[in-house]
Structure 1
Amino acid sequence: MADFGYTMLTEQAGPRELVAHAVQAEEAGFDFSVTSDHYSPWLAEQGHAPYAWTVLGAAAQATSRLPLMTYVTCPTTRYHPAVVAQKAATLQLLSQGRFRLGLGSGENLNEHVVGGGWPGVVERQEKLAEAVQIIRQLFAGGTLNHHGPHYDVESATLWDRPEEPPPIGIAASGNASCELAGELGDLLIAVEPKPELVRAFERFGGEGKPRVGQLPIAYDPDRDTAVKRAHAQFRWFGGGWKVNSELPTTEAFAGATQFVREEDVAKSIPCGDDVDLFVEAVRPYVRAGFTEVALIQIGGDTQPAFLDWARRELLPALRRL
């Protein structure tokens, strides 16, 4: 049976609200929680972008059972991999072993803020692979000196290091990233229910490892309200990763999605309060071989109502999948 998670989406709520949502998600019975790590929202309508690592530290203290995970952090541009290793080790200690480090090659939207340009996809994958190796070496202990094609590390030591390092998940959307995830990761991360991603991950060394997917939904007792909210805040989602990883600003995303209609969004994102509709949207992930599915409830101010509904209706229905 798959596990079902809750997404603390930093793009749509402030830090205190996100922590409160995590507490309610734990009380509602979600199996885990993931957190986006963005410097900017995708669209101005979302309106938020607090620092994910501060939110995660607070959530680790406010909850007692709920596993936490970045979905995902880019350890190559805005952050140096040695700093990501320190943050992840600290959070693993704060959460008493409940943290998983989800990594990906990033998006221009969040990484361009430090300057230096946005590299092509091949270089981004190379940098991610080197970053993962640096992080793992620091997790292992001792002092690290590293001089690679993309990064230098000088006499780095993690002075507060958990006995069990956080598992590393790697985001994948195609064959090359699945190879990287299978060879270097402890779990697969994806946002599409494609069986070929699971098969490639397993072929490159991921057999038996967790596979985590993610799905946006828009719960509301009034379906029209849900559709309008999904369109306003999530119409960017259908652009695909090759587009979404390249656009630099919320204005660029607004321009790229100006002709997306409400009915287009409603075809790809379940909207309303029909439990069966949501279950059927999750089913492809389970059939594709994903062992965990994290749900994104669209709309920051709708989270308390959604979490109450999920506790009463949605989670029991999903458990029967």
Structure 2
Amino acid sequence: MSRTTPPRPADVTAVFPQLAPLARTATRLHPRPGSPSPHDSSVGGPLLWPADAPWPYCDGPHVPDGNPATSPQDVRLQRRIRAAAASRPPGRPRVTPEEAAILERINAGHPWPKDPVAMLPVAQLYVRDVPLLRPPGRADLLQVLWCPFEHPPEPKPRTALYWRSAAAVTDVLTTPPEPAVVQFKGYVPELCLLAPEQTTEYPDPMELAKELQEQMQDWSPRQAADAAPDNSYEPAPEEFYGNVLSIAPGWKAGGWTRWGLTDPVPRNCPACDAEMDPLLTIASTEWGANTRSWIPYEEQAHATPSTADPHPAAPTMVEIAGGYDLQLYACPASPDHPHTDRIQ
């Protein structure tokens, strides 16, 4: 099913013409639970991976954090049990005795890994679905994997990127290895199909020139252009731009970076020092309390959590650093240069 972002309630470039040359195209991916094949763009796999190509492993270090690890299989089983429990009518036991025993076993965890850890598929993007990707040579497919353990200095998984030509993969790996254990349940993505949609974004308020930031704190320009925010933004009209007019939330390719956990910092290529561009945003949620205006038309009726669907804004079940996003950056000079990442 397609997803359609409502138009923005104001033309921000009519109020602030300085923003017009800063517009960027982003592709909102709209991952939703499904059954993708290796020939689909997806979150969580399966990947179009050559049978004769080595699967990536992470050599660590994987430093114990004092908590038991869990297996990807147990993460998925626990989610199924909880979904079944949430769908049962009132008056019935939420969890059966058999399910309770399974959950108790899962919560006991597994030993911390000692060997290299097989990486998990995170995303697969075909250029036909996300045309703003800039692959090298004849590649038309981007594959993203990560190690499901945190790697300092930031509390984030280690990522790996692979570009491929889909036509060159004639024999697909059907049973890729999985890690025996993962550190957090939020590092195991649910299988999701994508409904890519292009949208226009403008820089985060923190990346704008100081003069323009000050103008956004003035209510009168918006009123003059008949683009006044609703009353909830009257104490801080600049937040109307940040939450409603500038950057789409959720999983996306391209666009601008949403800042807030830190101030904007340089993102330079470690190979050539060029300023890097946002490549992929791996989001913990598709929207939040301040970004509900971005909820697609098709989902607005179901955007409030319910008993049957307790996570309408978190279909991938991915959770980064307690609810933030993981932004991957690519070098515009060469897609062969190393990527970088940052939590925001």
Alignment TM class, shorter chain as reference = under 0.3
Q: More helix by proportion, 1 or 2? A: 1
TM-score when normalising by structure 1: 0.24
TM-score when normalising by structure 2: 0.23
